[in-house]
A and B are shown apart, each in its own frame.
Chain A
Amino acid sequence: DSGVTQTPKHLITATGQRVTLRCSPRSGDLSVYWYQQSLDQGLQFLIQYYNGEERAKGNILERFSAQQFPDLHSELNLSSLELGDSALYFCASSVGSGHSYEQYFGPGTRLTVT
């Protein structure tokens, strides 16, 4: 158990809909990262927040957005969903910001868009 929790575990929704994925980092961790894992694209870094502020952006679509709240939990919002958005979405957390800090991954949320 990494200490990172993600809800829900599974989500099934229809094209065009909007969903919110939630991540609670390990106690004491200030950074939260979001990743997408799909068969087509593999594992892709989406976005990082550090202590409430956006720190780095990867291959995140404009239809997707994220935020980190004062209690340090984070939410990833996916809108106007397409079939291709079906994937496993991982959240990771670390103490600091930067590659020298180990990232601890949550179990993921599996999103299925029908």
Chain B
Amino acid sequence: AQSVTQLDSQVPVFEEAPVELRCNYSSSVSVYLFWYVQYPNQGLQLLLKYLSGSTLVKGINGFEAEFNKSQTSFHLRKPSVHISDTAEYFCAAGYGQNFVFGPGTRLSVLP
């Protein structure tokens, strides 16, 4: 079955510290991977996406993610977080015509 797993439901981190949000997806011949951010009371906004090519993908707001086919992972990283990064982060995968979201990780940046 097509699925996306985000093992950490909540990640607290201090301001200016690095963060990694983990995402694993079920393997498929063809899969596209995405990270979205959802701020409180707002819709989702695309952070970055992997379609093909370089396995290191850079996105907005200083985020980057690395596609690892052998480990079926697409972890999101930021070297130094800000208070404003506090939000819910969703990993998603496009399988053919289907689009599957992970359960989300709530990132809380502490002063």
Contact = CB atoms under 8 A, between A and B. Distances in A.
DSSP class of B's interface residues: helix, strand, loop or mixed?
Answer: strand
Interface string A94-108: 000001101101111
B76 to A, nearest CB: 16
Contacts of A56: 97-99
A105 B101 contact: no
B104 A45 contact: no
A4 B101 contact: no
B56 interface: no
B43 A43 contact: no
A76 to B, nearest CB: 15
Interface string B64-96: 000000000000000000000000001010100
A2 B97 CA distance: 23
A30 to B, nearest CB: 16
Nearest to B101: A43
Interface in A41-65: 42-45, 48, 55-58
A97 to B, nearest CB: 9
B103 A58 contact: no
Given A99-B32, A99-B51, A90 B43 contact: yes
28 contacts: A2-B43, A4-B43, A33-B99, A42-B102, A42-B103, A43-B44, A43-B92, A43-B104, A44-B101, A45-B100, A48-B97, A55-B97, A56-B97, A56-B98, A57-B97, A58-B99, A90-B43, A92-B43, A99-B34, A99-B94, A99-B99, A100-B51, A102-B49, A105-B43, A105-B44, A107-B41, A107-B42, A107-B43
